[in-house]
Structure formats: structure tokens, C-alpha cells
Amino acid sequence: MARPSASLHLPGAAAQPINAATPLAGTTKASSVRWRIFAIVFALTMVNLIDRVSLSIAMPTIAHEFSLSPSMQGLILSSFFWAYALLQIPGGWLIDRFGPHRVISWSTGLWGTFQVLAAFATGGLSLLFARVALGAAEAPLFPSGGKLISLWLAPSERSRGAVLMDSGSPLGVALGGLIIAYLIASLDSWRLAFVIAGIATLVLAWLARRYLRDDPATHPQVNAEELEKINAGRATPAAEAARVPVKGLGIAARSLSGLLIGRASWAMVYFGLLTWGPSYLAQARGFDIKGIGAATFVIFVCGALGSLTGGFLCDGLIRKGVSRGVAVKSLLAFSGVVALGAFLLLPTLSNPFAAVALLAMTAFFLMWGSLYWSFPALLAAPARVGLIGGVMNMAGSTGGIAVPILVGIIVQMTGGFAPVLGFFAVCSAVFVLATLFISLDEVRHG
């Protein structure tokens, strides 16, 4: 089957179309554009989470300024996910229809704008509306990343691609906790901290617009050898396969059920820590604003390292002959079991630094859940990868909507965080069971 042509630009020469099947004169090594693509996606997800966590870090200050009750705080923390969840499926459709490059560029610009506008909130209600708008703008990012995994990476590289994308999430929380806490403390203004975060996002929107592409064959810096690597193991190049019409969702019902329940239960734990973690550290462990920032940094840096470890370990196991289904599901199940045990142990620890160390270890293994972003490209038909990524992320977002409200109610009713930790342990158990229900035995899509 003839390979598509890639338009390559050589230094000092006019641009000429080069057929990907013909080695370029003097070129023996594949270019690495695909990894630079995912470096940008990594940066986008990192800043995405800095913008999200900014409210969690600032919430103790904002709650005092606006006189917000715990229930109202939970409502505001949850509000981001209302539009975020509702727009996952439409966003996934737009990604499959118009391509991730265009969708990412527009959504990043919009969410940077809304992050700046949140700085001008005058009370709980206006802040809530700003967070809803931010959630709407951020909705397409992760499904777009899932689509780029399908378009730019061979099946043997997708676990690494998934964690390179998703590890930006905990690192963004870690840096966000440190940076936003520092800015609030040094500038004595949560509003200025929000403005600075929003401007950084707008810069990344420009970079994404300039460098990302939907079809590797059209990127001016991709050479023939890299295109060969990208299309390895495919019957049809990804960009062509993505244009083949498909009826329905293009995924087995059993796997879809496990995917949705597993992602939702994992998100209940992750976003529970993200939204209420700073308040837990302040109220249950006695940390001040700088201590909260430092502890959050340690916890979620460990999460980012865990995410990367899980992805590289998974691809390593597969290269050694372990089946993809066994490798992925074993790592995910193990991470859930570790989280379950940690949440049961945490209430027994009296030392606040020991508690932070245990949370950091929990985050390391919990973030092996980044492997979930390899599932859309593995399970769905190429023309439905964006949509399935959106459906999966909608399930996670539903957990994100529910957990801040539920935790707020639990804290208000019980006056403490021990029951909340028990709730997270239950969610971890559900995550393990649902993940084992996903079937990778009949993966047919490249």
C-alpha cells in the first residue's frame, strides 16, 4: 500500500514534497516531532491544572473574603465540572469533525481568557459563573490529546504518550499549589494570581496554534523515517483511517461500561484530593498557606512521577511479551489497591508530615490511572477516538461534579475528614473492579 507523502522543509532549500517510502538523502535517524507534539500537550495539561487548582488553593482566602459556607465552597469547586462534563461529548464530536489542532487552539485561548475574568469576581455567585465558563472552555483538551495519541503514535508507543499527556495534570497541581500559594502570599492578592495564570495560558494557546498538526504527513519537520515509525503496525495510516465512516460508537458495550465506571470512580479520588486537599491540610493537619502549597507540591510531583513510571513500565512489559490487556489492567488494579489501603491507614497517623508522605506515595500509584488515556485509541474505531475520549472524560467529569459537593456535605455533617477518607477508599475499590471488566482481548483498531 502506498504511503502518504510528507511535505518536508530542508535547511537552505525550497520546500519539496518527499514520499515517505523513499529515505531522505543523508538521513538515517527518524525525527522526533511526535514527542515534541506531546511535550506541548504535556505543557497544556500542566497549565490546565494550574488554572483549575488555583481556586482550590485560594479557597480559604476567598471563603473568608466572601463569607462562604462549606456547602457553598463545595458548590463553587464543583461548578467547573458542570459545563466541562456537558461539553465532553459535543467536544469529542468536534475533535473528530474538525481535528484536535484547531479545537485545542481555540479552547486554550478561551480558558485563558476566562481564568483572567475570574479575578474580577465580586462574590460567590459571580465566581461560580466564571468557573462554569472555564470548565466549558477546558472541556476538549484531554479528548484532543487522546485523538493525537491515535494520530501520532504507533500502538507500541501509546502508553508512553498517554502518560506524557496526563502527567502534566498532577505536575500542574503540584506547581499550581506552589506557584499560586506563593503569588497569593507575596502579592497579597488571589486576583493577581489568577490574572498571571491566565496570561500564561494565552501564550500556550499561541504555541499550540503554531506547532500542532492533525496529520503527521503534513508536518514540515517530520521525515520519512519518523513517518514509518508512526505508521508501524497499522494497515492504514492513522489520518486516513480516521476519515473512514463508522456506525455507532465503535466500541464493545462491556468495555465501554468498565471504562466509564472505572474513570468516574478514579476521578472521585483524584478530584477529591484536588479540590478538598488544601482544606484537609489546613483543617485536619494544621498547615498554613505556604505549608499547603509545599505539601501540595510534594504530593502531586510524586503523582507526576508515578504517571510517567506507569506508562514506561507498561510499554516495557509489552515489549517483553506481556499481553497489553494483562500489562495495562494489572498496573491499574495494583494502583487502586494501594490507594485503598492508604486511605484506610491515613486516619491512624497523627504526624502531619507522615500524612503528607503517605498522600505522596498514594498519588504516585494513583496516577498510574493515566494509562486510561491509552484506551480510546486502543478500543475505539479511529473515526470515534475523539468521541470515546469525550465520553470517558465525561464520566470522569461527572465524578468531578459530585465529589466536591459530597465531601462538603460529609465535612459539614460530621465535622471532620475521617469519613471522607473512607469514602475515597470505597471509590478506589470500585475503580479496581471496573478496570478489570474492560476487555482488551479483541483490540482490532490501529
Whichever domain contains 226, its CATH number is: 1.20.1250.20
> Looking at the domain assignment, is residue 2 inside a domain?
no
Q: Let me know whether 202 and 266 are in one domain.
A: no
Question: What three-state secondary structure class fits 7?
Answer: strand
Q: Let me know whether 300 and 175 are in one domain.
A: no
Q: Let me know whether 366 and 432 are in one domain.
A: yes
Q: Let me know whether 255 and 400 are in one domain.
A: yes
Separation of alpha carbons 311 and 163, rounded Å = 5
Question: What is the per-residue DSSP string for 227-240?
Answer: HHHHTTT-SS-HHH
> Looking at the domain assignment, is residue 240 inside a domain?
no
Q: Let me know whether 144 and 225 are in one domain.
A: yes
Separation of alpha carbons 53 and 76, rounded Å = 13
Per-residue DSSP letter, 156: G
Question: Which residue, of 202, 231, 260, is where some domain finishes?
Answer: 231
Separation of alpha carbons 88 and 80, rounded Å = 13
- The residue with greater pLDDT, 360 or 181, is 360
> Looking at the domain assignment, is residue 68 inside a domain?
yes
- pLDDT given at position 78: 76
Question: Which residue, of 170, 201, 231, is where some domain finishes?
Answer: 231
> Looking at the domain assignment, is residue 8 inside a domain?
no
- Residues 350/386, Cβ–Cβ less than 8 Å: no
Residue 282 confidence class, pLDDT cut points 50, 70, 90: confident
Cell numbers linked to 192 = 493577581
- CA distance readout (Å), 399 to 61, 203, 284, 333, 429: 26, 30, 24, 19, 15
- Residues 316/327, Cβ–Cβ less than 8 Å: no
pTM of the model: 0.71
> Looking at the domain assignment, is residue 133 inside a domain?
yes
Please give the residue range of the domain that contains residue 439: 251-445
Q: Is the pLDDT of residue 130 over 70?
A: yes
Q: Percentage of residues in the chain with pLDDT exceeding 70?
A: 88
Q: Let me know whether 204 and 259 are in one domain.
A: no
Cell numbers linked to 100 = 484536535
> Looking at the domain assignment, is residue 82 inside a domain?
yes
* Residue that has been written with the C-alpha cell 464543583 in this structure: 78
Among 136, 143, 135, which residue's Cα sits nearest to residue 96? 143
- Residues 180/59, Cβ–Cβ less than 8 Å: no
Q: Is the pLDDT of residue 75 over 50?
A: yes
Q: Let me know whether 260 and 385 are in one domain.
A: yes
- pLDDT given at position 237: 60
Separation of alpha carbons 318 and 322, rounded Å = 5
> Looking at the domain assignment, is residue 122 inside a domain?
yes
- The residue with greater pLDDT, 133 or 236, is 133
Separation of alpha carbons 284 and 288, rounded Å = 11
Cell numbers linked to 342 = 492508604
- CA distance readout (Å), 123 to 66, 118, 254, 260: 6, 11, 45, 35
Write out the E strands in 49-201.
none
Question: Which residue, of 196, 231, 266, is where some domain finishes?
Answer: 231
Q: How far is CA 285 from the centre of its chain?
A: 28
Q: Is the pLDDT of residue 332 over 90?
A: yes
Q: How far is CA 362 from the centre of its chain?
A: 18
Q: Let me know whether 201 and 272 are in one domain.
A: no
Q: Let me know whether 227 and 255 are in one domain.
A: no
Mean pLDDT score, 150-166: 84
Q: Let me know whether 373 and 313 are in one domain.
A: yes
- pLDDT given at position 14: 41
> Looking at the domain assignment, is residue 241 inside a domain?
no
Residue 417 confidence class, pLDDT cut points 50, 70, 90: confident
- pLDDT given at position 163: 86
Separation of alpha carbons 325 and 314, rounded Å = 10
Q: Let me know whether 121 and 226 are in one domain.
A: yes
Mean pLDDT score, 304-326: 87
Q: Is the pLDDT of residue 18 over 70?
A: no
Separation of alpha carbons 369 and 52, rounded Å = 19
Cell numbers linked to 308 = 510517567
- pLDDT given at position 145: 87
Among 216, 197, 199, which residue's Cα sits nearest to residue 36? 216
- The residue with greater pLDDT, 23 or 223, is 223
Mean pLDDT score, 196-205: 91
Q: Let me know whether 424 and 365 are in one domain.
A: yes
Sequence-ordered list of residues with C-beta below 8 angstroms from that of 271, at least 6 positions apart, any chain: 81, 396, 399, 400, 403, 404
**Into how many domains does the chain fold?**
2
- pLDDT given at position 381: 74
- The residue with greater pLDDT, 234 or 185, is 185
